[in-house]
Amino acid sequence: MATLGAVYDAEPAPRTVDDIIADHGAVPERRQGPKARSKWLCGSVTDTAAQVVCAVFDQAEHRDPGHRRPWVVLVEGARHQIDLIKAEARQRGVDVHIIVDLIHVLEYLWRARGACTTAAMPPPGAGSPVTARVLLGGGVQQTAAALEEAALAAGMHGAQRKGIDEAVNELPVRQGRAPALRHRP
């Protein structure tokens, strides 16, 4: 499997939940996003993910040896990937903001929705824009609790709960604060 990394400089461009998913189906106003400068890219199919993460941190540390600027890491959300990044940040004494790609987080909600549909119960907003807004606002625990409550109320057991259990177990791993799902080392 390939592991890719990128380092670039950009001015922060904070966004709110409404910038990403508008309330009640309105079209969000399009704001100018950050402009990447001085891009550095790496990738490998032979190096381990840990080696690539180390190379990315080496490059970032070369650019900001005093760790004065905010470091933001975007990941697809694999638990081992987050663990590697946290460990590298701890080892180097740098504070990083890990942002998990929303599309990967929503995949867990769609699987939970499928489990609810299979069990002939109404899904508790799983996969809806409202639930995505709750997640972006930092409501990961709230979403996981609602899924668990719905499964218990429907008397779901074993394989019936697979999609819900995945969401309940994985969403908190990606917990954080608005406007994105973040992890702090």
Encode pLDDT of 93-142 as tens digits. Answer: 999 998 888 887 788 888 887 776 655 555 555 556 677 788 888 888 88
111's enclosing H/E stretch is: helix 102-118
Are 10 and 97 contained in the same domain?
yes
Number of separate domains in the chain: 2
Same domain, 57 and 96: yes
Task: Indicate if 109 and 96 belong to the same structural domain.
Answer: no
Tell me: do 70 and 156 sit in the same domain: no
Give the model's pLDDT for residue 106: 81
Does residue 102 contact residue 176 with C-beta atoms inside 8 Å? no
Residues 146 and 162 occupy one common structural domain? yes
Residue found by looking up tokens 């709750």 in the block: 134
* 89, 76: one domain: yes
Statement to judge: residues 41 and 84 lie in one domain: yes
165 and 79, same structural domain? no
pLDDT for 128 equals 65
Q: Which domain holds residue 140?
A: 102-174
Instruction: Kindly report the pTM of this predicted structure.
Output: 0.74
Strands (E), the chain: 3-9, 37-44, 71-75, 96-100, 182-183
User: Which amino acid does the sequence have at 10?
Assistant: A
Which residue ranges in the chain fall short of pLDDT 50?
176-185
Residue 177's pLDDT is 33
Beta strand pairing status for 37-44 and 71-75? Answer: unpaired
User: Would you state the pLDDT for residue 64?
Assistant: 97
Paired tokens of 17: 């939940």
In the three-class reduction of DSSP (H, G, I as helix; E, B as strand; rest coil), residue 4 is classed as: strand
Contacts of 103 (CB under 8 A, 6+ apart): none
pLDDT (0 to 100) of residue 36: 93
pLDDT of residue 107: 82
Per-residue model confidence (pLDDT) at position 179:
32
| pLDDT reported for residue 52 | 96
- Residue 8 sits in the same domain as residue 62: yes
pLDDT for 127: 53
Cα separation of 175 and 131, whole Å?
Answer: 14
| Rounded (10°) CA dihedral 19, 21, 23, 24 | 140
Residues in CB range of 160: below 8 A, 6 or more apart: 115, 118, 119
Is residue 75 located within the same domain as residue 131? no
